[in-house]
Amino acid sequence: MIRVRELSKTYRVPVKKPGFLGSFQSIFSREYKDVHAVSGLSFDIEAGERVGFLGPNGAGKTTTLKMLAGLLYPTAGSIEVGGHRPQDRARAFLERITLVMGQKQQLLWDLPARESFELNRAMYGVERGPFKAALDELVTMLRAEPLLDRPVRNLSLGERMKCELIAALVHRPQVLFLDEPTIGLDVEMQVQVRQFIAEHNRQTGATVLLTSHYMQDIAALTPRLLIIDGGKLRYDGALAALAQRVAPERRVVVRPADPELAALGFVAHDGKMVATVPSGDVNRLVQRVLSSHPLADIGIEDPPLEEVIGRVFREAVA
Ranges of each domain in the chain = 2-243, 248-301
CB count, 10 Å around CB of 136?
11
Q: How far apart are CA 47 and CA 205, in angstroms?
A: 7
Q: What is the CATH number of domain 2-243?
A: 3.40.50.300
Indicate the DSSP class of residue 83.
T
- pLDDT tens across the length of the chain (318 residues): 999 999 999 998 888 777 777 676 777 777 888 889 999 999 999 999 999 998 888 888 989 999 999 999 999 999 999 999 999 999 999 999 999 988 788 888 899 999 999 999 999 999 999 999 999 999 999 999 999 999 999 999 889 999 999 999 999 999 999 998 888 888 888 999 999 999 999 999 999 999 988 888 888 899 999 999 888 898 899 887 877 777 678 889 998 888 889 989 999 988 889 998 888 889 999 999 998 888 889 988 877 777 777 777 666 555
Question: DSSP letters along 188-231, please?
Answer: HHHHHHHHHHHHHHHHH--EEEEE-S-HHHHHHH-SEEEEEETT
- pTM higher than the cut 0.85: no
Q: How far apart are CA 127 and CA 134, in angstroms?
A: 11
